[in-house]
Amino acid sequence: MNHPLLQRLRRLLPWAISIAALVYVFGYATNWEALLAATKHANLPAFLAVVVTDKIAFFLCWGVLQGEAVRRFVGYVPYSQVISVRGGSELLRTVNGSLADAAVILGLMQLTRASVVSIVAASTLPYLSHISILLLQATLAIPLLAGGLAGNRDVATAVGIGWAVAISIFCIVRFAPSMPVVARSPVGRWLGHLRLRTLLPFLAWFLLLAVLDIGFQWLGTRAFGIPIPWEVLAARIPILYVAISVPSLGGFGPRELTWAYLFSEYGSREALIAYAFATNAIFLVMHVVIGVIFLPRAIELVTRMRRARASGEAPPEPLLHDPIDP
């Protein structure tokens, strides 16, 4: 439903959340002298190398996996073209992740000439796979944490809610196609062809990416002077991704608050905020650099987004949003 008030709210909400969070984090709750002092313990060249490598690796991997999903369930499209579309959307990601995801869907629709339902459905598969692996990762990490289940009730609660949502989604996927109203819809027909074995390759790849993600964060925190055990990262990174999926400008604000809360036992508040802010700032620069590399595609995607809005169309959105580097 393209209600003007709803559209205005969607545009203003990221600004409101980011501004409020940043004002609180940097204008009220932060000791600036301690924040700057925290960076003195960091090996900044090593930290920069880890974060840049992290961004490039996940950008390429997500492009290939999204391309594979489109090739399997929609139609043939070169991986290079999918990476080009995602690269062009990176300029939009500097402002808003949801806007960038919508631009990717528009770009894939142009490449495949497929319907928005087909592209959204295919694009959702990698996200579902990634979220499933994150949930499994946090579940397996809980017994490894100091204090176990009793000493990490925040993680246990988040995991419990995650499994409840996962079971609900499974029931929808399993039983929705048998409902007459749903079965006759494009989504119902697509769900009718979906089988667990089709997700297995994506689950395997995202399992590998989860290991890489923990490794990058483990190296990054050590380079910044706030070493965090790998099992703690494994348990709490999934919660971080849920928090930074909140609409915001490039994740600024929610990321800093969440890092300071989740990992408070392993560094000062100022050091954790500095780490999160520096990571986000590097990601922002990388969004721009990647977007400039794919500038012709970026200009094309921006033009299509503006035309869609000018014609009164709501830009298509994925059912789920990429929780990595929003």
| pLDDT tens column, 92-101 | 777 767 777 7
Tally the domains of the chain: 1
pLDDT at 45: 92
Quick count: other Cβ atoms within 10 Å of Cβ 315? 17
8, part of any domain: no
Residue 147 in any domain: the answer is yes
Q: Are 82 and 59 in contact (CB under 8 A)?
A: no
Q: Report the alpha-carbon distance of residue 77 to residue 263 in Å, rounded.
A: 42
Q: Which residue has the higher pLDDT, 247 or 223?
A: 223
Q: Which two tokens stand for residue 76?
A: 């043939």
Q: Which two tokens stand for residue 236?
A: 């709490």
Task: Write out the H or E segment, with its range, that includes residue 91.
Answer: helix 79-93
- pLDDT tens across 289-310, in order? 988 888 776 677 656 656 665 6
Question: Does residue 268 lie in a domain region?
Answer: yes
Range of the domain at 243: 15-310
- Judge whether 317 lies within some domain: no
Flag whether pLDDT at 317 surpasses 70.
Answer: no
**CA–CA separation, 288 and 295 (whole Å):** 10
Q: Would 1 be classed as within a structural domain?
A: no
- pLDDT band for 18, please (50, 70, 90 cuts): low
Q: Which residue has the higher pLDDT, 130 or 20?
A: 130
Q: Is residue 182 part of a domain?
A: yes
- At residue 183, the pLDDT reads 58
Averaged pLDDT of the chain: 79
Within 8 A by CB and 6+ apart from 202, the residues are 65, 68, 69, 125, 126, 129
Average pLDDT of the segment spanning 55-72: 89
Q: Which of 185-189, 280-284, 297-301 has the lowest mean pLDDT?
A: 185-189
Q: Is residue 50 part of a domain?
A: yes
Going by pLDDT thresholds of 50, 70 and 90, the confidence category of residue 128 is confident
As a whole number of angstroms, the longest Cα–Cα distance in the chain is 63
Q: Is residue 320 part of a domain?
A: no
Give the global pTM. Answer: 0.79
